[in-house]
Amino acid sequence: METFSIWIYVLVCFGAAFAGFIDAVVGGGGLVQVPMLFILFPELSHVQVIATNRFASIAGTTVAAIQYIRHVGVDTTLILFAGVSAALSSFGGTFVMALVKPEVFKPMLLCIIVVLAIYTFVKKDLGIEHAPSYNGKKLWVMSALIGVVLGFYNGFIGPGTGTLLVFAFVTVLQVGFLQGSASAKIVNAMADFASLIGFFISGYIVYKIAVPMMVSNMAGGYIGSKAAILKGNKFVRYVFLFVLALLILRLGWDVVRAFLINS
């Protein structure tokens, strides 16, 4: 039993490292970590899984964000307004999570993700060039709006937030994929930290799982951010499409399973 437990933790750490790599490039590390935690630790509640995932992933997200700030540069106005609004709405979302079942929103979210994937695949030049479309007060408003909507999603559901942030920055604000990913990392880290405070208060984090995952996630985040910076917008776009495909499969399975259980 002890040997089995050790191998479970080894598997968790490898999964967390891979999740950190994916998350650093384009977001969506929770698509790996959250299902893995549900499978390997079925005794945990969905809130414990999200809280433990959040504790583990915030370190990797922070490492990636530091790398992007040093080597890519970001729009501080975008980060400030999107980050603060995302942090506030994410903090509130953690408390709503315990009251409402997120499965209610999954069919609608699945349709949205499918549209995003098709749009990104068809529009070949999306995010290849960095040409911001807003400045001044319009940038403040649009950044804050993106932050509020996706920050709440981050606190309430979680997995895929970074991917959705990248898409919003690329399509709405017209930044390049690399710059969008850099901005998303920082905003996501701010939102994660705010929601983590809510999880600390509620006592949902399982530290014996979260701490080793955190170390592995940091390593993956460092490697992933280095790869994205080195290879540029096209590489990030390809990984973005890959993560969208994972998200579609994940949400599709959840919707079908819920339908079969309730039918």
Q: CA–CA separation, 24 vs 32, rounded Å?
A: 13
Domains of the chain: total: 1
Q: What's the confidence (pLDDT) of residue 124? A: 67
Q: Quote the CA–CA distance of 115 and 97 in Å, as a whole number.
A: 25
CA-based end-to-end distance of the chain: 38
Given the structure tokens 């899984």, which residue do they identify? 49
Give, to the nearest 10 degrees, the angle between helix 233-262 and helix 30-40. 40
Q: What's the whole-model pTM score?
A: 0.73
Asked if 120 and 159 count as a contact pair (C-beta separation under 8 A), the reply is: no
Q: What is the mean pLDDT of each run of 10 residues along the chain (263 residues)?
A: 69 91 80 82 84 88 85 81 87 73 65 74 64 75 90 75 83 83 83 81 88 94 89 79 79 80 75
Determine contact, residues 248/112, Cβ cutoff 8 Å.
no
pLDDT at 158: 67
Boundaries of domain holding 207: 2-262
* pLDDT score recorded for residue 2: 46
Task: Categorise residue 28: left if φ over 0, alpha if ψ from -120 to 50, beta otherwise.
Answer: left
Q: Which of 24, 47, 11 lies closest to 212, judged by CA? A: 11
